[in-house]
Amino acid sequence: MSSFPTSKAPGDHAVACDSGSVTCILQSPEAQRHWARDGIYGLGESWMNGEWTVDHLDDFLCQIMSGPTPKISWLSWVRLLGAAAKTRFVDQQAGKGAFRIGEAHYDLGNELFELMLDSSMSYTCGYWKDATDLEEAQRHKLDVLCRKLELEPGMQVLDVGCGWGNFAHHAATHYGVEVTGLTVSAEQAEYAKNRCAALPVNILLQDYRTFDGHFDRIVSIEMIEAVGRRNLPRWYRDIDRWLRPGGCFALQAIVGETISRTSDRRLDQYILWLVRHIFPDGCLPRVQELSARGTSMRIDSWERISGDYDRTLLAWYERFEQGWNTISDRYSERFRRCWQFYLLGCAAAFRSGLVDVNQIVYRKSSSQGVRP
């Protein structure tokens, strides 16, 4: 049985991290049992239960994610194998499954996200080059994507996974384009429609698989993680079908080798916790799955911005904690600790290099020849 991930016996512990010494205090022996049985997944469960505390949770988790793979019980191996089989063989977005993540996560209440996010309501990695705060980083990200798409006035643009309408609003306001946005969240759709009411923006509460149309440019900012491994080839074919010849498609995607024979078990343990508590049916694509094989699109540019996500997540966490008292009557303390582990655990995953985020631009050939 593995001891709790510290240098001493249960009690008051010190762990060496990049930022110095991190103090971890066990509040219950259950924390030890969770860790020994389920590794990082168990740490998340016991953190939510208030069974242990630590001064700098992100540094603590980064230490673990950068260290030896935690040993887990055979029951946890069964859970991992089950998740791998589900990812590979089950279409978790079938039927109304595509709307599950909207109902379980994005419809938690706009007041929660307004508290945590910047004024544009961008719930994706910011672009921190030359930015001094979250507001600037998110504005830069939207502008960088617009420039990479080479937007011109009058173009028709599709935003797949439009969220609260941040890209649609920015592109229509500053670049004079017409935007259609797709989302599976009712709260996001209503919010985006209201904020873009005076702009040439059409927001649809619709699964992309039931949608059709033709566009000069397409953008998708961190929606691909909800598509599912089985559906990725079809997703790329749909993008290709919607995109007019000579058009561009800009993708911002979180990438990681997860829940597979060759994946990192430290990341797998954390991803399983995220899927259970934060993003139901989520699945990070692998780098090789972003090639758009079988379409007429070619990769035009690829930019890695992983360090920017660490800063973005820490900014969200700071705003979440600073404003907690204003929403604490609507959410439980367990919910608060769940989101602490979510935000700071993700920051640790990016910091340790277990996951990556990239901006990729694809260009469709004018001849529409399909690449094998």
Q: Which residues contact 301 (CB under 8 A, 6 or more apart)?
A: 148, 359, 360, 361
State the alpha helices, DSSP H only, in 49-102. 57-65, 74-89, 100-101
Helices then strands, counting H and E runs in the chain, come out as 12, 10
> Tokens 């643009």 map to which residue?
157
Q: Are strands 156-160 and 243-255 parallel, antiparallel or unpaired?
A: unpaired
* Catalytic residue check, 346: yes
Cβ distance 176 to 93 under 8 Å? no
CB atoms within 10 A of CB 111: 13
- Active-site residue, from 24, 146, 283, 346: 346
Asked whether the beta carbons of 128 and 137 are under 8 A apart, the reply is yes
β-pair partners for 21 = 16
Q: Which of 16, 32, 38 is nearest to 270 (CA)?
A: 38
Within 181-250, residue ranges assigned H as helices are 186-195, 232-242
Task: Measure the CA–CA gap between 165 and 113, rounded to whole angstroms.
Answer: 13
Question: Which residues are known catalytic residues?
Answer: 346
